Structure 1
Amino acid sequence: MNKKIMVLGSINVDTTYHVQRFPQPGETIAAGSKSSAPGGKGANQAVAAARSGAQTSFIGMVGADNEGKFMREALQEDHIDTRFVGIDELHGTGTALVTLDSNGQNDIMVYGGANQAMTTDVLNGTSEAFEGVDFLISQFETPQPVTAEAFRIAKEHGVTTILNPAPAHDILPEVLKYTDVIAPNDSESYGLTGIKITDEDSMLKTAEWFKQKGINYLLITLGSKGAFYSTPKAHGLVPAFKVKAVDTTAAGDTFIGALASQLDNDLSNVADALVYAQRASSLTVQKMGAMPSIPTGEEVKAALAK
């Protein structure tokens, strides 16, 4: 049966400048081209889950502007329930300025706008919507007090919560209290724990650090080295798929959304779900743009079958 996933998070319109290399401080360089696409960590994760077959709903905010209308329609095109995407009359829709070099690496500057102005009021009337939801996902492009309250409501309804602590910030204790699964990348993990990821021992120490905080399920993405997982019953490293990256934007978001679409409710199939998520992410980096590059479940399964 298809998973029922709710995402609380950011909605951005991404504008990408394509350059040969990043500019030095004080330097002006020419961009070869410019493109715009729907994005935002939350929106990307929701689309990744939906395209992999999950019944997906979204909690977020946009501005009362053309970008907001564009983003709501973009989510609806992927059959995502946008009933709880509110409209902020005072702040514009979030935007991201992406600089993309010829190696597929990016620098991103984000204007939070309506995302950062979000309050717990956005959760008014959502309680019934949590009924039957398997997983609630959130990130750090929206205020943590909203995530804390959403996670608290989720736990009342027996929903498993997944925290993607990106971009890296200190985590409010009340967010940690209601987090079941935490999924940072290696640099975010280091920022949170102070433990540098260098080998299996450092990963196990990181898992122990989070267990002390009450989180028993840890997933760390390690780029080309794959993904590490630690659960109460097992730990291991799932290798990455070797591909030539064109644009790494949304790779991590695709990973999270695709993963949630495949996880069993008891999280017993983490290793298999990670293989699927890694494959989905490897397809994303081979295309341009955030949301447009996210693969469908059929594309991921076809790639896995090769």
Structure 2
Amino acid sequence: MVIISVVGSIHMDFYIKLPKLPQPDETVMGYGFTMMPGGKGANQAVCAARLGAKTYMIGRVGKDIFGERALQSLASAGVNIDYVAIDEEAHTGIAFILLNTAGENMIAVAPGTDYRVSERDVDRAIDVIKQSDSLLLQLEIPINTVVYAAKIAYRHGVRVLLNPAPAMALPKELYSYIDVLVPNRTEAEMLTSIKINSIDDAVKAGRELIGMGVENVIITMGNRGAVIVSKDFYHHVPAFKVDVVDTTGAGDVFVAALGVFLSRGMDIVSACRYACAAAALKISRMGAQSAPTLDEVENFIRQHQLISSVKIYGVS
């Protein structure tokens, strides 16, 4: 069985549905409110578990009702929560999500216990990390903890996938520990200072990141799909058209699915196609943790006839 470990954030999402997203100093009257579990780490863990991986979550929640509900959501999805600490000195992280009728969002986060995830928490789970096929990381926890976890996984031959979100500068050391870096267009622009308006721009940015020491880069481009850049090839995987309900957590589903399918032995292009399919299914549903199951992804793949010949372009 595929084993996935996730070191990252766990929080509660508060959604307000709006006819449009507000401008600065503007108040927009909403027409719906929902509270759902979230956090980039937890979202990834739930997705990995639903795709059939034995999944371990490593993080923190507060001793409050939001922490209780977040843990219930993880456990009900089949995620092992033995390595989630209950922190009595801070609140569970929370996010306020403004969602318009097109499925676009604006998000503000109060990290709470997410910013207290430490190297000590990683040490508690070190045996689990060592036996994992892939380790999934994001940046809603302290960057020192991210580097520490990545280094441990790298030293033990565990595949490391990093979603560099929220966007921030990364320590140079971290790049050398990453097997697959998965930024979106905005994050890739921030890391490389290359403006990305086209597939060619994404390839250029990907090459820049490869030069920093990363093994593979996949830049997600929203409704334009994803661009894979490796040392000796690049490839564009188109997105799939679905009715958009909520884009929150789509990137988390993409990363988790990528980790699962790579761990199942797929090549990076095939795994990226399956990850695009998983993300497409997610954005057709409400909630950051509405990830699809393995059967749903496989049925989607069959329906869209995604198993086809692959054209790979050499990097000159």
TM-score of the alignment, normalized to the shorter chain, above 0.5: yes
Task: Provide the rounded CA distance (Å) in 2 between the counterparts of 1:200 and 1:70.
Answer: 41
Give the drift of 1:113.
Answer: 0.4
Residue in structure 1 matched with residue 151 of structure 2 by the alignment: 152
Shift, 1:200, TM fit = 4.0
In structure 2, distance between residues paired with 1:146 and 1:76? 24
Q: CA deviation at 1:163?
A: 0.7
Matched with 1:138 is 137
User: 2:258 matched to 1:259?
Assistant: yes
Residue in structure 2 matched with residue 300 of structure 1 by the alignment: 297
Do 2:136 and 2:161's aligned partners in 1 also have CA atoms closer than 8 Å? yes
Is the 1:91–1:114 Cα contact (8 Å) retained in structure 2?
Answer: yes
Q: Quote the Cα distance in structure 2 between the aligned partners of 1:63 and 1:118.
A: 11
Quick one: distance in 1 between partners of 2:140 and 2:118? 13
The alpha carbon displacement at 1:168 in A equals: 0.4
Alignment-mate amino acid for residue 34 of structure 1: F
Question: C-alpha offsets along residues 9-51 of structure 1, whole Å, 9 cap, x if unaligned?
Answer: 1101001001111223333222101001111111001111111
Question: How do 1:225-264 residues align onto structure 2 when only pairs under 5 Å count?
Answer: 225-264=224-263
Q: Report deviation, 1:258.
A: 1.1
Q: What's the CA shift string for 1:190-216, capped at 9, x where partnerless?
A: 011001123343233222212221112
Could you give the per-residue CA deviations for residues 55-96 of structure 1, whole angstroms, max 9, x where no partner exists?
111111111111111111211111111111112211100001
The residue aligned with 1:216 is 215
Separation of aligned partners in 2, 1:289 and 1:132: 31
2:121 counterpart letter in structure 1: V
Match of 1:229, SS? Answer: strand
Task: State the distance in 2 between where 1:148 and 1:54 align.
Answer: 24
Shift of 1:269: 0.7
The answer to whether the 8 A contact 1:144-1:175 is kept is no
CA distance in 2 between counterparts of 1:125 and 1:289 reads 30
**Structure 1 stretch 232-241 or stretch 116-125: which is displaced more?**
116-125
What is the distance in 2 between the residues matched to 1:204 and 1:243? 26
- Tell me if the contact between 1:62 and 1:87 (Cα under 8 Å) persists in the aligned partners: yes
| Structure 1 residue aligned with 2:174 | 175
- Which moved further from structure 2: 193-202 or 146-155? 193-202
Instruction: Count residues in correspondence.
Output: 303
Paired position in structure 1 for 2:272: 274
The 2-side partners of 1:201 and 1:275 are apart by: 19
Secondary structure of the 2:103 match is coil
- Give the residue type in structure 2 aligned to 1:304: I
Counterpart residue type for residue 9 of structure 1: G
Change (3 A) 1:190 1:228: same
Deviates more, 1:204-213 or 1:14-23: 204-213
1:280-295 mapped onto 2 (5 Å cutoff): 280-291=278-289, 293-295=290-292
Given residue 295 of structure 1, which amino acid in structure 2 is its aligned partner? P
After TM superposition, give the deviation of residue 114 of structure 1 in Å.
Answer: 0.2
Structure 1 residues not aligned, in runs of 5+: none
Contact 2:178 2:215 in 1 (8 A): no
Q: Secondary structure at the match of 2:82?
A: strand
TM-score normalised per structure 2: 0.92
SS in 2 for 1:237: strand
1:280 & 1:205 partners in 2: Cα distance? 26
* TM-score, scaled relative to structure 1: 0.95
Alignment-derived partner of residue 86 in structure 1: 85
Deviations 1:256-299 (A, max 9, x none): 11111111477x611111111111111111111111x2111111
- CA distance, structure 1, for counterparts of residue 155 and residue 30 of structure 2: 50
Deviations 1:206-243 (A, max 9, x none): 22212221112000001111100012342100010011
- Is the contact made by 2:8 and 2:41 (CA closer than 8 Å) also made in structure 1? yes
Instruction: Note if contact 1:12-1:71 (Cα within 8 Å) is conserved in structure 2.
Output: yes
Residues 161, 179 of structure 1: 8 Å contact kept: yes
Q: Which runs of 5+ in 2 are unaligned?
A: 304-316
Alpha-carbon separation, structure 2, partners of 1:223 and 1:125: 36
